[in-house]
Structure 1
């Protein structure tokens, strides 16, 4: 007979219905479940802080309904029957929007680097940093910018979505590498913060013409463009690229709520002018950060060093309460967050 008194109850957010356009609270449902007993090699973990990210909207287009929303968290080990994990230890993992999780021995073994990793020693910085600047968003900026754009000192770099977790890191990494940085964000408050990070020119894309801003700030053209936004912004930005420019396609948040994406119309609305790309001899490349999974710790160690040295600053927008996961997620599409969006359990 199973001793139900020792069972751990987990709260789980599932995708209850397919979002149409901007997600709503009603698209998600909060469930409760009993975790199975912890067997040999398993661990039971409790989330302490969770991440919400724009990519989750894209995943919600394809993932099965009634299944757990994806996402990362910093979790504490509650129970361990694994020789690799001790009770009280913290890990960065990706079980999704869950308060508690049983991670089996098989999952721990096959998860791969980046799936169940010890939280780096972050000194006096909050544990949530492991979901932001010293985590997946930080590595997205580190590898996606340095490997694809290959910036050289003195070159001009354009970053949009520059007040977000990834964009703000790219701005600072570009300055560390000696580049001139042009950045855009969606409010005066965000622009002021990005400017404090060292960006040379910052503009509010909601109140300023992208075309005019880039004409004024980059008269000799843009060498590297790190794109988090896509859509109309990219349509207006590409003509300002210098010959042999490099474009790193990280995200396209401006299109994630566009339902025409699944109706075969995206190519017709593409911001990428083939003739322009050819004549300027641009290199345009998209990426997913797991491409660099074998070098994961290289990125985190460098990012951590820059943070400790004060070269890489960050900000978090924190929502309290696991029950507010959908609210925090939806807020991403209203521009509610500056820096990394975090939910504390």
Structure 2
């Protein structure tokens, strides 16, 4: 599973920010250069513009990573000074840098303070410029011009803030997608491991059992030994088919077939097997019979096994437990995971001479 968008979009997101923020940062110096207000103001504009670019881009690139740069209160204050103090030398042409201060304040100040300060910056800057340059009589046109400038500043501040938030969301989306992809890989790995254990465990146990039986029969009954060897080949082919089905997640188990196969396999191993009752067909119950059979063949010396089928339940009891640790193996753990996925339960009871595996699923699930 991979993200359905090009990775270069995430890698080049910082360049996207530079392309959107640099024009606003250099607008002030460019305006002064175009006006040609003299060598002194031009030098001040270039120096202030360079310092403003360093401070603003430091804030913006950090905010895009959802962090605040070290010492940000000092650097934000420095950015505000660089954006406002040169107005006394450069005039009204140095008004655009105020927009960068508003955007940086929205990104760095915590909670609602950032948004409040960001929108207030444009209004405060207009008041400041009006106080410095607007000493003539206040008219309706002046008021409209002030409102227009304050509104445009607020729009640009919000736009710059929004671009950084967009890049941050893009990074978060990319990270989430990668985590989901990794999670899907892990789930698939667990599924394959569990299915290999549950499906091939019984098949390999059957192959081992039939092979040993064929070796014992060969000196006394060649025909019976040949039949067991043929059974080994058939079981091996079935195991190969199961392995291919696991890789495609297409294997389905049927409760009736599993009970029949378990009874035959246990009988061949010399285990007196009794099947009691009937159960509603359910895949989890089928897996329970398969795992219980495999567990018995691999971890017990049982001579008797009872498979009790009920509505939404299967219980397997045998009398040959070797070690209580067999109740905590990977097969039982996988069975618990299967049952939990449909709201079922798995219980294991280990006594001195008895091992009981009981699996239940909700009645509504079992009825389907």
Confirm or deny a common fold (TM above 0.5): no
Q: Which has the higher helix share?
A: 2
TM-score by length of 1: 0.25
Which is bigger in relative contact order (C-alpha 8 A, separation at least 6)?
1
Q: Which structure would you say has the larger Rg?
A: 2
TM-score by length of 2: 0.24
